[in-house]
Amino acid sequence: YAGGRAMVTTSGGGFALMTEGVSLAGIVESPMVIHIAQRPGPGTGLPTRTEQGDLDLALCAGHGEFPRAILAPGTLEDAVLCAALAFDMADAAQTPVFILTDQYLLDSYYDVAELPLPKKPPASHIVETAADYMRYSYCEDGVSPRGVPGFGQGIVRSDSDEHDEEGVITEDADVRIAMMDKRLGKFARLGGEHALPPRLYGAEEYSRLIVGWGSTCDTVIEALAQVDDGQTAFLYCPQVFPVPDQVADLIDKAEELVFIENNATGQFARLIHRETGLAADEHWLKYDGLPFSVEDVVALVNGEALI
């Protein structure tokens, strides 16, 4: 609200206690970056173990409808990249952006040759307000000019009730519709050309495609390098929502579609099906509190049971 970049970091259990703040950020159009380190639930679950069980939580947290983006780095390098991108996306769209990691990734450490540090300072999206400033003014892309208190002559109102362009509470039906449409229009700043694209590994002309997100990334890549299989590729999705445009095109080319996830219900597979209409042929799911090992994935690629 005051103009500083803000991030909160917690586990899924900690975040579950605070989800009302997400919908508040949605209606006051405040940038916010939220990092959730996933551990097995529900409740306290397995507090020292790992899982990818909170995608649905991040996707649906907060009541009502408003835009958000979800990034899920699978490597230490991507964790840095996604953190920088999350702040840029949140600032540009004035909306919450999630970074989903898990206990396994957070416990990992290794040497890296070079981190993808930004080449220049982040751009400021804050404007100096005029006397007639309206915080929630209607605009084509849904992103109203963002002022902060004390910078300019205008009054910066922030209201958690539905409001008009000035930030004054209203229950006018036409204003409600216009404000909802304005906020939802900000999805364009989070997807499309602004989305973090997926990466394809393995066979270029694949018949079987394994799709994963987050910390399964390096495990699957290493496993495919150990298997003599010229028909299998891996699609790694560091942005899981909004689903990047390229995901549907790459999935649609596969004769056999497999999702690998550290949860019991295939949360990313369900999201992809909802967004693209493309359904998994097979699910590789692991939810015992442990990550997939390379040996696990080699066995699954070879049509064997988990080791």
Task: Give per-residue pLDDT as tens, 114-154.
Answer: 887 878 888 899 999 999 999 999 988 899 999 999 999 99
Task: Take residue 245 and report the two structure tokens written for it.
Answer: 């445009």
Split at pLDDT 50, 70, 90, the class of 307 is low
Which residues fall within 8 angstroms of residue 211, CB to CB, at 6 or more apart?
A: 234, 235, 237, 251, 257, 258, 259, 260, 268, 269, 272, 280
Q: How far apart are CA 300 and CA 279, in angstroms?
A: 19
pLDDT of residue 113: 86
**Is residue 306's pLDDT more than 80?**
no
pLDDT class of 59 with cuts at 50, 70, 90:
very high
- DSSP of 189-206: GTSGGGS---EEEE-SS-
For residue 22, pLDDT beyond 90: yes
**Which pTM does this prediction carry?**
0.96
Q: Mapping DSSP to helix (H, G, I), strand (E, B) and coil, where does residue 184 land?
A: helix
What is 127-173 written as a DSSP string?
A: -PBPTT--TT---TTS---B--TTSBSS-----SS-B-TTS-B---H
Of 76-80, 96-100, 118-122, give the range with the top mean pLDDT: 96-100
CA neighbours within 13 Å on the CB side: how many for 280? 19
CB 151, CB 197: distance < 8 Å:
no
For residue 177 the two structure tokens come to: 């519709």
Give the pLDDT mean for 83-112: 95
Q: Among 60, 90, 54, 88, which residue's Cα sits nearest to residue 72?
A: 54
Q: What is the mean pLDDT of residues 249-273?
A: 97
Distance CA(91)–CA(85), nearest Å, equals 10
